[in-house]
Amino acid sequence: MTSEPSGLLDRALVEEATKKSGLVWVGGPGVPARALWHVWHEGAACLIGDGPGEQPLPGLTDGGAAEVTVRSKDKGGRLVSWTARVAELAPGSEAWQATVAELKGKRLNAPDGEAMTDRWARECRVLRLEPTGTTAALPEGSLAEPPLPSPATTRQPVPAGLPRLLLKKRKRG
């Protein structure tokens, strides 16, 4: 059996880079890329979202396509961009349970602790982003853009006492 060496290298790069990076940038057709946490499980990047308190997954539909960009965990630079087929897992299925077990271990600051898997089954979507084998050439420029609007980012006035507290610490040192 013969295979194209660059295809194997691309697949290995996608898997290793995605496994090591806790954050990937994912965009769907007509939807700008968004930073999402994930786990690599059984050959795909797995995501949980679209429920209360979870990350939004706009533009990712079952059977659709997505563009995934992986950054370096060390330097934060772009390592590889790859195309994925989106598969939504049915709550309670064997594949869903195995994937949720992996996601549960990586979910930080869950508001409901051990009950989160029940909430995920009721209110969220679990997606697998399965590599299609296609990688994109890395762009020349930075592609930097302002952050997308989100209810998680709020601007509050600086507390009145904060400048004094900060100045006191500088004077001591």
Q: State which amino acid sits at residue 68.
A: V
pTM for the whole structure: 0.78
User: Is-contact 54 27, C-beta < 8 A?
Assistant: no
Cβ neighbourhood burial of 84 (10 Å; 0-12, 13-18, 19+) = buried
What is the pLDDT at residue 164? 79
- pLDDT exceeds cutoff 90 at 125: yes
Q: What average pLDDT does the chain have?
A: 86
Q: State which amino acid sits at residue 124.
A: C
- pLDDT exceeds cutoff 70 at 27: yes
CA angle 68, 71, 72 (to 5 degrees): 150
Q: DSSP letter string over 35-56?
A: EEE-EEETTEEEEEESSTTS--
Beta strands in 4-95 (DSSP E): 23-27, 34-37, 39-41, 44-49, 65-71, 78-89
Q: Can you tell me the distance from the alpha carbon of 34 to that of 25, in angstroms, rounded to the nearest whole number?
A: 5
CATH class in words for 5-172? mainly beta
What is the pLDDT at residue 2? 39
Question: Helices marked H in 48-153 — which ranges?
Answer: 94-106, 116-123
Cα-atom radius of gyration of the chain, to the nearest Å? 19
- pLDDT exceeds cutoff 80 at 158: no
Cβ neighbourhood burial of 128 (10 Å; 0-12, 13-18, 19+) = buried
What average pLDDT does range 144-167 have in this prediction? 75
Tokens of 60: 């990712």
